[in-house]
Structure 1
Amino acid sequence: MCAIAGIATLSAVNQLAVKAMTDLMIHRGPDGEGHWLAPDGSLCFGHRRLSIIDLTDRASQPMQDASGRLTLTYNGEIYNYKELRAELSGAGANFRSESDSEVILEAYRKWGDACLDRFNGMFAFALYDAKHDRILCARDRLGEKPFLFAEDAGFFAFASDYKALLTLEGVGPDIDDNLLAQFLVTPSNALDQDRNTLFHDIQQLLPGEKLVLNTRDLSFNVSSYWRPLSTSVLSGVPAKDAVPAFKSLLEDAVRIRLRSDVRVGSCLSGGLDSGSITCIARDLVGDTTDYDTFTGRFPGSDSDEGTWAEIVSTASGTRSHNVFPTGEKLVESLDTFLWLNELPVDSTSQFSQWSVFEAAKNAGVTVLLDGQGGDEILAGYEQYFVPYIESRRRKGEYDPAEEKAIRDRYPLAFSERDQVWKRRLPPIPKKILARFLGRGTSAILSLDWKNASRVREDLAVQPDDLHAALRGDAFTGFLTTLLRYGDRNSMAHSREVRLPFCDHRIYEFVRTLPVELLMGDAETKHILRRSMRGILPEPIITRWGKQGFLPPIARWLEGDLGDLADALFKSSDFSKNGFWDTSWCRQSWNRFRAGETSLAPTIWKVIITQKWRDLFLTRVSEIDRFSPHG
């Protein structure tokens, strides 16, 4: 896991600009830095290294092949690098290191751009081919690693972080307020799902995309090298075979993600996803090796997962570490939290995740396996029962008794469908009605009239087909945003997070399954529950009411975070702000303090978004700017 940066020009490149870019990303790679300048001076690559595989200098980057034709700067991990290395060695390739970085170089030499089809991993990289005057840039299939880029007046630049690009002249910090407003209302469809980003001058590769840059004229083309099928293709695998096949895939996904020359552990909540990964990993590393798990705790609240996490930790024999995020700690860390997250976050869960990675750093564990992606890929949210039932209905398999069983076990499973009219009410009538009644908790009500009128709430409406809903959330929806959070929060503490459920083989296999294998028997993640019998403790497998990693935000707003909110809403700068409906925000704060705790999530969004504007945007506008040209 590392940071990458680079600038290509039509004349001479400013090496100091690339150095400034990598300096801003030292948290991503504290173990070393490197810079490479092309012989003609028109191209410069930069790199910050977090040493994971092959800790020697032979694995440093930017890395060239033996001939000097190919140069690579790369962030991520190719988990199947050992298998690829063996295949390439058999075809005559000679390796000078034990790194996965060199495997990318030799794979490109052998297969060209088709090497991307061979990689199982998370990655963002730029590979310069001097023979063909081209740079191949790529992002992994599900978008675990970021690839940001900018172009202007004779240069093309790329980086892992926004702030790195914003240090360049020609790349300004102006933002798209419409996108920001949309994010507040539908965080699953705003900042991470389109080529354009929140910053007008910065674009991004989307999951499964590559960009080929012609270094002679800086023209480029973006295309997809991998996309999930738009419709599911059923494999016809019998249920009795599908469960062991899935189990085998998951075990192998965990196995290759345990490859590391530094310590590996797991993030552990009390849920099915992280519990499954922890138990599988513990079995694979063996009883003679210590294995650490890290759990966020909220004692005294319904959000506390400590009891459930302890069940998994005790059963698997891990060495458990508990961390206790609080509102006070959030306020203390707010400047750094916002600076390193770079974009607004939609809930306090992201600070809890930040705290877990901080605890791992303090314990000396560099690599962490995590259950992210399980919900979006394996149908883990109870609202997926709506498209599940519709899928069954279209096949002529609808059973009222099945829907009743679902409603009995998951009382809120159909609540969004039953109240869909609320999202379809246009924003302006909704704001008028909320003012008249003195009610309402939707984030759309916090926006001024102009911004509210441009927001669409119906973007969050689920399709009526389960596979379509999962494809939308996993490939072009909220998982992409959750992966950004995981990347930024782990990198903030120089930790690497690895996600077995995001193995593309699992994703592709699940797309071939009938929906009843995903949500049958009134169970979310049905196939995972079946495959974990005898591996995961039974109380975890049959825990139906598992909630997300949600801190007690209402309680946090009673302490230092509440003081921060109070000061914000009273400030004259907030009154002059043209983004918010300041009257509604202040009234809502008063309603919350009078006992309407359901307003807490919306109040949080106002606080964190405004503080992001005050802290991140102000700070990034004050950093030194460098011309990309020498």
Structure 2
Amino acid sequence: MCGIAGLFHLGTPKPVDPFRVERMCDAMVHRGPDGAGVWTDAGIGLGHRRLSIIDLEGSPQPMHSADGETVIAFNGEIYNFRELRRELEGQGARFRTDGDTEVILAAWQRWGIDCLDRLNGMFAFALYDKRKKELLLARDRLGVKPLFMAELSDGSMAFASELKGLLAHPLLRREADPKAVEDYMAWGYVPDHRSILKGVEKLPAGHFRVLKHGASAPPPRQWWDISFADRHKGSTKDLSAELMHHLREGVTSRMVSDVPLGAFLSGGVDSSSVVALMAEASSEPVNTCSIGFDVADLDETGYAKQVADLFSTNHHSQTVQPDDFQEIDRLVSMFDEPFADASALPTWRVCQLAREHVTVALSGDGADEAFAGYRRQVFHAREEQARAVLPAYLRKPIFGGLGAIWPKADWAPRHFRAKSTFQSLAADGEVGYARALSVIPSEHRHAIFSEPMRRELGDYRAEQPLIDLMKHAPGRSGLDRAQYADLKFWMPGDILTKVDRTSMSVSLEAREPLLDHRLIEFAARLPQKERIRGRQGKWLLKHTMERYLPDNILYRQKQGFVTPISQWFRGPLASQAKAIAASAGLAKTGWFDSKALTRIADDHIEGRTDNGRILWQLLMLQKSIKHLGIVG
């Protein structure tokens, strides 16, 4: 796991200053504290920061191919590199190192762009072909590893693993994109199709880009996609056996390491499944780490300990306290862009805890998206059944009217909170799911924006890209389209961004065995009844893991890895809530109506509504724009 950066001149191949590339890499030293390297040639510069995981001494980067004609800067891990190496050796390739980086170089020289289809792993890399005078930028299938890009005023394309790598270049503009603010307020993060800074792009997951001297930069091209269009045929028993095969393959392939390895353990289905299969494959006790909360209803450390005891792991646990809020500035600097998923705080803490014991940690991320484990997916499947029965001309007036008059009762038990369900049923499936996924609905966002901001946005709404993605999804059902959107939109923008930045901030490599693309492709073809039965999501996965895990781990209500921010903003952090509303930084941007922000803070503190998430978003935005040195 590493950090990469570089410069490529799209026009005349001007000399590249190696010191400038070095500065871009040094801004990401946390991603690779074990080594550094820079290579430059006419019109091209590649830089690398290394975190040594495999072939600890023998794979420095940027790395040249054996014939010297290709050079690569690579961030990630290729889990099937040994199999590829044997195949390439059989076709005449010769290797000088024992790592995966040189395998990518040989695969490119043998198969060209088709080499991407052969790589099983997480990666973002820049590969320069001297003969063709072109640069390949590529990102893994699901977007585990990031890559930022920006065209600069001197005609060069700058790229880096994190935005802070680009920020180290003096020619990068620091002008905010108002549409990114709209996106952020809707989702709590800036999705991959946008950046908080104008002119900055993110290479989409499963895409590549080929840059040539003397030519303008072409748009990214997709090399992989997930399809829900086909269905497996076979019994539950057969599908369960095939699923177990893929689970074992995903876990064992990610246990290859030349440094200490462990796992995150929340006590939920996914991380517990990973730990169970690690324990099965390992002759030594597995190292596991858990984070708990000082709010009993949100704490799962008891379940994590139960799983740890079951598999005799070397278990380590910590509790997050409210005063961890004081570390928010460190969180802001990790993400650069505003990022308001409050579970980033405990994720960072568990990464810190893990790094005390291991250098690589396996996580359970990806199963909810792939197997329909989120409550919103289960609700959406049921709502789609209702939409199929009731035509739109009946649904819209009936449920739209109920949604308009029903009170918003954040304080009430969940089954009394019907307002959002009525509003969703009144809309088409894609619109309803976008509403369920958003943190702040469109009408509420625009109520807190200033009039100049509303004019700037025009008719743009953050939900539209998600709606369009769902409408064009390769799938058969509304659930298919919802899961497709989660895998393509939510997961790379939120979940994988969170894990990458928090783990890399402490120089820890996080691996996601449940995101093995073969497992994801298998899950996408499951009949809907194998994903959801009754109110139970992720059904086949839970059924398959019954041989390893007890029912109270598999079938209890999903809690999620949450932080009690609403309680904090009503208790020890109430003064912070009031300060957010009066923030001079937010006022200077001109994006918000200050009176509306004051009402949000007051209503939350007095318990009239639950605005904890909104307050957290505003606070993270305020601090991020200060960190980036930008204004609206």
**Any conservation in 1 of the 2:259–2:359 contact (CA below 8 Å)?**
yes
Measure, in 2, the Cα distance between the counterparts of 1:600 and 1:560.
13
Aligned pairs, how many? 580
Deviates more, 1:514-523 or 1:441-450: 441-450
Alignment of 1:610-625 (within 5 A): 610-614=622-626, 616-618=627-629
1:554/1:423 CA distance change after superposition, 3 Å: farther
Deviates more, 1:593-602 or 1:365-374: 593-602
Measured after TM superposition, the shift of residue 423 of structure 1 is 8.7
| Aligned counterpart, 2:409 | none
Match of 1:565 among 554, 557, 577: 577
Measure, in 2, the Cα distance between the counterparts of 1:530 and 1:382.
18
1:532/1:238 CA distance change after superposition, 3 Å: same
Q: Deviations over 1:370-418 (max 9, x none)?
A: 111111111011221244346668999xxxxxxxxxxxxx959987433
Alignment of 1:73-472 (within 5 A): 73-152=73-152, 153-187=154-188, 191-194=190-193, 196-217=194-215, 219-220=217-218, 222-229=220-227, 231-286=228-283, 289-331=284-326, 333-361=327-355, 363-389=356-382, 416-420=420-424, 442=444, 444-451=446-453, 454=457, 456=461, 459=464, 465-472=478-485
Measure, in 1, the Cα distance between the counterparts of 2:584 and 2:493.
36
Deviates more, 1:461-470 or 1:302-311: 461-470
| Aligned counterpart, 2:515 | 502
Aligned CA RMSD, in angstroms, stands at 2.7
Measured after TM superposition, the shift of residue 532 of structure 1 is 0.2
**Any conservation in 2 of the 1:386–1:413 contact (CA below 8 Å)?**
no
**Any conservation in 1 of the 2:266–2:300 contact (CA below 8 Å)?**
yes
Measure, in 2, the Cα distance between the counterparts of 1:573 and 1:60.
43
Give the TM-score, by structure 1 length: 0.86
| Aligned counterpart, 2:600 | 588
Measured after TM superposition, the shift of residue 445 of structure 1 is 4.1
Deviates more, 1:444-453 or 1:246-255: 444-453
SS of residue matched to 2:220: strand
| Aligned counterpart, 2:433 | none
Alignment partner of 1:54 is 2:49 = no
1:49/1:572 CA distance change after superposition, 3 Å: closer
Measured after TM superposition, the shift of residue 547 of structure 1 is 1.5
1:414/1:108 CA distance change after superposition, 3 Å: farther
Match of 2:40 among 24, 37, 44: 37
Measured after TM superposition, the shift of residue 421 of structure 1 is 7.3
SS of residue matched to 1:351: helix
Q: Deviations over 1:71-93 (max 9, x none)?
A: 11000011111211121122222
1:72/1:534 CA distance change after superposition, 3 Å: same
1:542/1:414 CA distance change after superposition, 3 Å: farther
SS of residue matched to 2:610: helix
SS of residue matched to 1:297: strand
**Any conservation in 1 of the 2:205–2:492 contact (CA below 8 Å)?**
no
SS of residue matched to 1:296: strand
Alignment partner of 1:65 is 2:65 = yes
Measure, in 2, the Cα distance between the counterparts of 1:478 and 1:176.
22
Q: Deviations over 1:172-221 (max 9, x none)?
A: 1111122212221234xx72231x42211211210100111113546445
| Aligned counterpart, 2:397 | none
Measure, in 1, the Cα distance between the counterparts of 2:583 and 2:108.
56
| Aligned counterpart, 2:533 | 520
1:197/1:573 CA distance change after superposition, 3 Å: closer
Give the TM-score, by structure 2 length: 0.86
Q: Which has the higher contact order (CA 8 A, sep 6+)?
A: 1
SS of residue matched to 1:477: helix
1:238/1:177 CA distance change after superposition, 3 Å: same
Code of the residue aligned with 1:513 in structure 2: it is: L
Code of the residue aligned with 2:16 in structure 1: it is: V
**Any conservation in 2 of the 1:185–1:457 contact (CA below 8 Å)?**
yes
| Aligned counterpart, 1:402 | none
Code of the residue aligned with 1:243 in structure 2: it is: S
| Aligned counterpart, 2:435 | none
Measured after TM superposition, the shift of residue 443 of structure 1 is 5.1
Structure 1: give runs of 5+ residues left out of the alignment: 397-409, 425-439, 622-630
Measured after TM superposition, the shift of residue 441 of structure 1 is 11
Deviates more, 1:603-612 or 1:216-225: 216-225
**Any conservation in 2 of the 1:268–1:274 contact (CA below 8 Å)?**
yes
Measured after TM superposition, the shift of residue 306 of structure 1 is 1.1
| Aligned counterpart, 1:542 | 555
**Any conservation in 1 of the 2:6–2:45 contact (CA below 8 Å)?**
yes
Code of the residue aligned with 1:418 in structure 2: it is: F
**Any conservation in 2 of the 1:142–1:207 contact (CA below 8 Å)?**
yes
Q: Deviations over 1:497-555 (max 9, x none)?
A: 11112111111111211100100243110110111011122211121x11211111123
Measured after TM superposition, the shift of residue 225 of structure 1 is 0.8
Measured after TM superposition, the shift of residue 250 of structure 1 is 0.9
1:411/1:382 CA distance change after superposition, 3 Å: farther
Q: Deviations over 1:9-67 (max 9, x none)?
A: 221111111011011010110011001122xx3211100000011101x2110011121
Code of the residue aligned with 2:498 in structure 1: it is: Y
1:583/1:393 CA distance change after superposition, 3 Å: closer
Measure, in 2, the Cα distance between the counterparts of 1:75 and 1:254.
20
Measured after TM superposition, the shift of residue 563 of structure 1 is 3.4
**Any conservation in 2 of the 1:391–1:465 contact (CA below 8 Å)?**
yes
1:412/1:150 CA distance change after superposition, 3 Å: farther
1:526/1:88 CA distance change after superposition, 3 Å: same
Measure, in 1, the Cα distance between the counterparts of 2:328 and 2:427.
32
Q: Deviations over 1:403-459 (max 9, x none)?
A: xxxxxxx959987433327999xxxxxxxxxxxxxxx99555443344457463755
Measure, in 2, the Cα distance between the counterparts of 1:546 and 1:415.
22
SS of residue matched to 1:533: helix
Measured after TM superposition, the shift of residue 158 of structure 1 is 1.1
1:528/1:173 CA distance change after superposition, 3 Å: same
Measure, in 2, the Cα distance between the counterparts of 1:113 and 1:612.
37
Deviates more, 1:113-122 or 1:309-318: 309-318
**Any conservation in 2 of the 1:155–1:218 contact (CA below 8 Å)?**
no
Measure, in 1, the Cα distance between the counterparts of 2:416 and 2:110.
53
Measure, in 2, the Cα distance between the counterparts of 1:232 and 1:18.
44
Structure 2: give runs of 5+ residues left out of the alignment: 390-413, 429-441, 472-476
**Any conservation in 1 of the 2:37–2:49 contact (CA below 8 Å)?**
yes
SS of residue matched to 1:522: coil
Code of the residue aligned with 1:24 in structure 2: it is: A
Measure, in 2, the Cα distance between the counterparts of 1:154 and 1:304.
52
Measured after TM superposition, the shift of residue 491 of structure 1 is 0.7
Measure, in 2, the Cα distance between the counterparts of 1:16 and 1:566.
45
Match of 1:492 among 505, 510, 521: 505
